[in-house]
Amino acid sequence: MNLPSDYEQEMKELLGTELEAYKKSLDLPVMQGLRVNTAKITCEEFEAITPFSMEKIPWIPNGYFLKEEERASRHPYYFAGLYYLQEPSAMTPASRLPVEPGDCVLDLCAAPGGKATELGGRLMGQGMLLANDISSSRAKALLKNLEMAGIPNVYVTSEDPEVLERNFTSFFDKVLIDAPCSGEGMFHREPRMMEYWKERGPEAYVPVQKKLILQGARMLRGGGMLLYSTCTFSRKEDEEVIEYLLQEMPDMRLKEILPYEGFAKGAGLEKCVRIFPHRMPGEGHFLALLEKSGEDSRPGQENLRTGKRKAPKLPDCAEEFLSLLSYPIDRENLKLDRDRLYLLPGRVEVPKLRFLRTGLYLGDVKKNRFEPSQALAMALKPEEFVSCIRLEPEDVRTVKYLKGETLDVSDLPVEKQKGWQLICVRDYPLGFGKLAGGILKNKYYAGWRWQ
Ligand SMILES: C[S@@+](CC[C@H](N)C(=O)[O-])C[C@H]1O[C@@H](n2cnc3c(N)ncnc32)[C@H](O)[C@@H]1O
């Protein structure tokens, strides 16, 4: 691979005698990976049903090396949100931010959701994830990925972080900043990134990275943790950004990152981690984990956390549909916004922002009918809906369903012969359908159809 000469010089300064090994690693096949969505299925359960040849990634608890990315992206289990396809080193930042159920988590640069889907999954429906990206087109892909992963307790926004900072000072328990960067760790996978790099190298990204890390740190509560990551090797975008933060905010301090034998230490900041492709099987990343000192106090945020809500009065059709669910719904967290019904994440009250989503979108009130959303289907377990149709992955009707076709399902067992059905591939929901006389009217969201 022909690297830009300035870049090669920069890498020589960083790697010294390891430069040749790094360059050789770029001639090896690109690493691909699959990360199991543990909010939907355990790794053991997925290993028992996977049709792909996979090998455990030793430093990611739910990550696997995968050789058949193409096939995995066109399998019904993918549409059921059982996994996310992600390059192995890109799985590392979310795996090293210790998110726990009940946390309030911010992913400031989240699109398309490779890390947000993991952070959200680890919340197990408790607490809240605010997933933001300044680009509204990229935020749409983020929303799709979070909904496909079945994450209910999420706000998706497309805001300038300045706006978020005004509203969430000292608020979040955990913050991830997967910063925009010059992408040197992507050269192997996407050689065209070298052309962008020649036009906009590391210097172009440093100002925004410095701004983002300060904004993220200010939104962190005392005792909270922030993880900064990039997929680039330049010291300017990595350690120097951390040095800048430590200088500007003396209440932030570096923490040890859960180790792995292939990780290299940061250049001059030993607690930071670098992933180099010649040292371990990953394309390349930088990670720094920081903690904010001080009390767990969230000045001025008490009412955001404990705000009282009032249960809305719902139309009969919505009540009727909700009676088909045994999904836990706290009625005070229901919000009817014109015709759209949402279940807001509990505990937190969030101000008006440029939202793409507020909580779990349950469905629409249309005249006297209620149409459940695709997001609701993805967040359910089969036992939480009154009637399910289970298809096998090999059954041709599974793909036909994902293509939006009407199906004859008269041969399949079903709890209720008429009305709404949750359509599953085995035990994993794909979407809704409406049954009458053994024929299933397809309600799979048209925007997600199998192409
Ligand atoms: C490295 S990508 C994030 C990848 C994502 N974390 C994932 O794992 O899928 C960086 C993202 O930052 C966004 N971005 C750039 N400038 C930003 C800013 N000032 N505020 C918020 N997001 C920004 C870009 O639109 C881009 O989607």
**Per residue in 325-346, pLDDT tens?**
999 999 999 999 999 999 999 8
Q: Nearest C-alpha to atom 18 of ligand 1 is from which residue?
A: 134
Separation of CA 301 from chain center: 26
CATH 2.30.130.60, applies to 380-448? yes
160-180: average pLDDT: 96
d(CA 298, CA 262): 38
Mutate to test the pocket of ligand 1, among 60, 133, 175, 227 (most ligand atoms within 8 A of CB): 133
Cα 129 to ligand 1 centre (Å): 16
Beta 63-66 vs 128-132: how paired, if at all?
Answer: unpaired
For residue 357, the surrounding DSSP H or E stretch is strand 355-358
Query: Which is catalytic among the residues 231, 272, 388, 424?
Result: 231
Q: How far apart are CA 394 and CA 287, in angstroms?
A: 41
Q: Is the CB of 150 under 6 A from ligand 1?
A: no
Beta strand extents in 271-339 (DSSP E only)? 273-275, 285-292, 334-337
Q: Rounded distance, CA 44 to CA 38, Å?
A: 10
Cβ(129)–Cβ(156) below 8 Å:
no
Would you say the CATH fold of 380-448 matches that of 93-371?
no
Which tops the pLDDT comparison, 367 or 390?
Answer: 390
Domain map (residue ranges) of the chain: 93-371, 380-448
| DSSP string for residues in 66-85 | ES-HHHHTTSHHHHTTSEEE
Beta bridge partners, 375, equal none
d(CA 56, CA 65): 6
pLDDT, tens digit, for every residue of 223-268?
999 999 999 999 999 999 999 999 999 999 999 999 999 999 999 9
Does 78 have pLDDT greater than 80?
Answer: yes
Per-residue confidence (pLDDT) for residue 348, from 0 to 100: 78
Question: Above pLDDT 70, what percent of the chain?
Answer: 97
pLDDT band at 96 (very low <50, low <70, confident <90, very high): very high
Nearest-CA residue for ligand 1 atom 12 is 109
User: For ligand 1, is residue 204 a contact (CB within 6 Å)?
Assistant: no
301: confidence class by pLDDT, cuts 50, 70, 90: very low
Q: Is the pLDDT of residue 435 over 70?
A: yes
Residue 296 pLDDT exceeds 90: no
pLDDT at 299 over 50: no
Q: Which of 35-49, 111-125, 291-305, 431-445 has the lowest mean pLDDT?
A: 291-305
Mean pLDDT of 306-318: 85
Q: Is 295's pLDDT higher than 80?
A: no
Can you say how many angstroms the Cα of residue 179 is from the centroid of all Cα atoms in its chain?
15
Q: At what angle do helices 239-248 and 202-218 cross, to 10 degrees?
A: 40
Q: Which CATH superfamily is domain 93-371 in?
A: Vaccinia Virus protein VP39 (3.40.50.150)
For residue 354, the 8-state DSSP code is -
Q: Is 231 in the active site?
A: yes
Q: What is the mean pLDDT of residues 161-173?
A: 95
> Would you say the pTM of this structure is higher than 0.90?
yes
